[in-house]
Chain A
């Protein structure tokens, strides 16, 4: 096996290093920020920019993610990552320090951790019930790798040195400026007298380079007891390299799953729902309990709940056209649909109670942006220029999210242009959602369903419910007087107190 990727069943392609256009529109950048924090050492950002090429690639990832979600599998991959990280850290130390004895000591420790990580993972994977093609292939590769003679010899030597290091202890006697060093372990009489079991760490521990005092200690000690130090130097000469590129690549790419898993678990603990999406093209595309994950995460910190929604595309329905009041949840709903399609295509779990998603060639978004002072172009012009490439090529079979197009155009023009855009995408077998303030748009095109962000109009109020339902557009009006504003009429106050009393202890 010359090349292998845990993210892609085929020959791995170049990494995509730029953020796709839809990321910011769907607030996926905010989510990625949080996912990244779950694997701080690794540079995994770019792994989230590239979607699998086809349904096969998506399936490859979903199987692996299903394996990763088993607690034992997750734990062994996490142990592997941790030990590998330690090995990597020691290699960096080796490169950074000057003292050649210490350089070699870091090297021996790095090799030991690498060998240990690889052997442990191989042993774990051969025992655990992994079902995915990706992890099984990798397990097979490891099995072959650890049985090669070059590996077994290196491993034996590294383990030998580590064992000696583990038992290496010194006694220091300090009398003013006089320092005496001997091997052995003190009884800790003063520590016992203090009666506290907290260990006393070395003041030099934070620095990978030896302090002058440490150099001095080992220098005088080595003169009398040279054996261990000579062994370390010999090891470094005998085994000058040890790393395997496929294993290092696996270590990085598996973080894609581990980080998302930790992220998902963290929010599940706080009551969020995730599910594995179904991928059945024979049934209607639909979801229940769908929510905007990015909004839910930021609202959680402010103790604000998020409303979830259900939707279904019946046969013959290609686009939702969503109307409703400002701040009524239209854009949030559109974003949640985009996130649903994105995470499905990435082979990960989605923020909903349940979902069935069809195949899409790509994800296209068009959100209105603040008018640019720099380019000096009109907003309509700017919108059309961004729209054109979307309509040109990638459109066939895509999932399309459009948020408030043509707000600056005349009403009549806006309706005509909007209808044309819809017809274009529907003609290219796209599905999607179109958020608009134009109430007429829903009736203009075949295959379009009108939905509305609903208001609660009981008691003469206009409270936003953030529910998006199949419903004709609403008319709105407001009227309140002071007493009613505070709900202080006898009947409503009485009802309010009845409710509040339940919360009194």
Chain B
């Protein structure tokens, strides 16, 4: 019984996140997304109304899944297909998540946490724990039944491999036969839960006094101690009909054969206590036989609660974005040196401000280094963030806010953002910045991408340019893709003059009259830009032949 809605071949377990996820979240402003995803978005005549309280679970799950990259195009397309099914079938999406969330609430109420702790020693406590286990088994059986019904209702609409396999797997693992056997055993151990209100609510619904009957055989061990027990029959006598068993049990034969066997009626309190220990042990044994099933259920429901939450969260974002008329697309995977996008917008900001930002187009082929220059307030950082957010969303199988988006897969994703307001010029800051670079380098891997936003601004322009040049050159030579927004013009000019084919330069567009359009255009670094006159006086700009 597997969920497998996030991956075709495995559950969500031991998944490796990006390095330093907190930097990714704060540099790309992802918190806004997590928050928006936690609220159910209701549509009414096209307008989005905020409804329902925030479901923290949804944002937690979205955060975890978004920050763990997929590694192959197949993985990405698998998740995209499942997501499309969920977005198409609103009822299924909501009911599936509701069912698994409700399951969790009941499970918590039964004391999920206590159950996970190692058990107490006392007989009485063990008895109580067992009763809880019996109730939990009941709960699993009931919820699985409901889940099966839900899948049967909706499965004709499933187009994705993921949801079809989910439904098939469930129907196979929780077969009629399995269900029947479980319900029989639950019936047989009713005596054990005698007087337990909640149990009778789930069970037969009556308040009969039940009677036990069990036959065991056992090996006698050294020191005249009872050894291993073998259970021959067990039932709770409270119904007229007898269960269908293949043969006459030994207990029935014994009534005939051993009528004169040694017999005693246990009256003494201590002996009755011992007897109840023996019964408890037998029930424990019976339940133990269903441990594999229960463990499977535990994992299944934990996974389902987690995995369905991801799609539920995406669904919320989708409803909100389509309400805001933001255009979304399912991205395509291409080679790592290519980057193609049309009308790409910054999704975090769009979600946060509930608006449609300026979109950018670009078609950048065979480039491993992208240098964005231009005057301040031109939208450079927003542009870099839009690329970062889109990359992260693509790599977790989500949609992207663009008309189309194509990029390579970079499981090693490192933002290195310097926030201007706290970039005081002192060696402690540079130390911190370079320390971060050092840690990034230690965590690089095959297919790495580094987003540098105004890095090395904590020292002089000249020093900063030298540092940037050294580091970026070494990184690109090692095959690392680098996207950098920079105001270090000596650096940009030096790279530009080298005229290397793997470098692309973009500029924040400025119209003749100095107006910012917030659009990025492919162009040489603006060597004579405003605000840099002073700098140009000191280091005169070289005429550029292009």
Contact = CB atoms under 8 A, between A and B. Distances in A.
Nearest to B288: A198
Nearest to B273: A212
Interface stretch (A201-209, A253-261, A370-378, A385-393): A201-209
Interface stretch (A179-187, A318-326, A410-418, A470-478): A179-187
B475 interface: yes
Contacts of B271: 212-213, 216
B216 A488 contact: no
Interface in A165-182: 165, 168-182
B47 interface: no
B212 A175 contact: yes
A105 B266 contact: no
A1 interface: no
Contact of B262 (A106, A187, A212, A224): A224
A191 B231 contact: yes
A2 interface: no
Interface string A209-235: 011111011101101100000000000
Interface stretch (B246-254, B522-530, B533-541): B246-254
Contacts of A180: 254, 258, 261-263
Contacts of B445: 504-505
A102 B224 contact: yes
B437 A483 contact: no
Given A196-B288, A200-B228, A211-B274, A169 B434 contact: no
Interface stretch (A353-361, A400-408, A493-501): A493-501
A205 B216 CA distance: 16
Given A191-B232, A493-B470, A169 B220 contact: yes
B322 to A, nearest CB: 39
A215 to B, nearest CB: 9
A490 B470 contact: yes
Contacts of A178: 263-266
A41 B157 CA distance: 65
Contacts of B232: 171, 186-191
A500 B441 contact: yes
Contacts of A220: 262-264
B477 interface: yes
A171 to B, nearest CB: 5
Contact of A203 (B212, B263, B277): B277
B272 interface: yes
Given A102-B223, A189-B232, A198-B289, A497 B474 contact: yes
A486 interface: yes
A176 B212 contact: yes
A194 interface: yes
A172 B232 CA distance: 10
B366 interface: no
B229 A202 contact: yes
A73 B467 CA distance: 67
Contacts of A345: none
A340 to B, nearest CB: 38
A52 interface: no
A182 B262 contact: yes
Interface stretch (B15-23, B90-98, B132-140, B278-286): B278-286
A487 B437 CA distance: 11
Given A171-B217, A220-B263, A504-B445, A482 B431 contact: yes
A500 B216 CA distance: 65
Contact of B224 (A101, A485, A497, A498): A101
Given A195-B289, A482-B431, A174 B228 contact: no
A494 B474 contact: yes
Contacts of B441: 493, 496-497, 500
Contacts of B247: 189
Contacts of B217: 169-172, 184-186, 188
A7 B265 CA distance: 59
Contacts of A202: 218, 225-229, 278, 281
Contacts of B227: 201-202, 205
A109 interface: yes
A330 interface: no
Nearest to A220: B262
Nearest to A113: B222
B26 interface: no
A65 interface: no
Given A483-B434, A493-B470, A179 B275 contact: yes
B220 A165 contact: yes
A488 B262 contact: no
Interface in B281-298: 281-282, 285-286, 288-289
B220 A182 contact: no
A175 B213 contact: yes
Interface residues on B, range: 35 or more
B466 to A, nearest CB: 9
Contacts of A177: 265-267, 272, 275
Contact of B470 (A174, A488, A498): A488
B475 A497 contact: yes
A184 B262 CA distance: 13
Contacts of B117: none
A181 B216 contact: no
Nearest to A221: B262
A389 B30 CA distance: 72
B270 A200 contact: no
Contacts of B289: 194-196, 198
B222 A213 contact: no
Nearest to B431: A482
Interface in A35-49: none
Contacts of A195: 289
B281 A218 contact: no
B265 A504 contact: no
A501 B477 CA distance: 11
A430 to B, nearest CB: 49
Given A497-B478, A504-B444, A173 B251 contact: yes
B329 interface: no
B474 A182 contact: no
Interface in B409-461: 427, 430-431, 434-435, 437-438, 441-442, 444-446
A201 B254 contact: no
Contact of A204 (B245, B266, B277, B442): B277
Contacts of B262: 180-182, 220-221, 223-224
A237 interface: no
A443 B441 CA distance: 48
Contact of A210 (B212, B224, B228): B224
Interface in B464-485: 467, 469-471, 473-475, 477-479
Interface centre among A172, A200, A205 (most CB of B within 10 A): A200
Contacts of A186: 215-217, 230, 232, 250
A205 B266 CA distance: 21
Nearest to B285: A200
B499 interface: no
Nearest to A191: B231
User: Top 8 closest A-B pairs, CB basis?
Assistant: A186-B217, A213-B274, A196-B289, A200-B285, A186-B232, A203-B281, A109-B222, A490-B470
Interface of A: 90, 93, 97, 101-102, 105-106, 109, 165, 168-182, 184-191, 193-196, 198-205, 208, 210-214, 216-218, 220-221, 223-224, 482-483, 485-490, 493-494, 496-498, 500-501, 504-505
14 contacts: A169-B218, A171-B232, A173-B251, A180-B261, A186-B215, A194-B185, A201-B281, A202-B227, A205-B226, A211-B277, A224-B262, A486-B437, A486-B438, A488-B470
Given A174-B213, A202-B229, A500-B444, 12 more contacts: A175-B212, A180-B261, A189-B232, A189-B249, A191-B232, A195-B289, A196-B289, A201-B281, A213-B271, A223-B262, A482-B434, A496-B441
Interface of B: 185, 211-234, 245, 247, 249-251, 254, 258, 261-268, 270-272, 274-275, 277-282, 285-286, 288-289, 427, 430-431, 434-435, 437-438, 441-442, 444-446, 467, 469-471, 473-475, 477-479
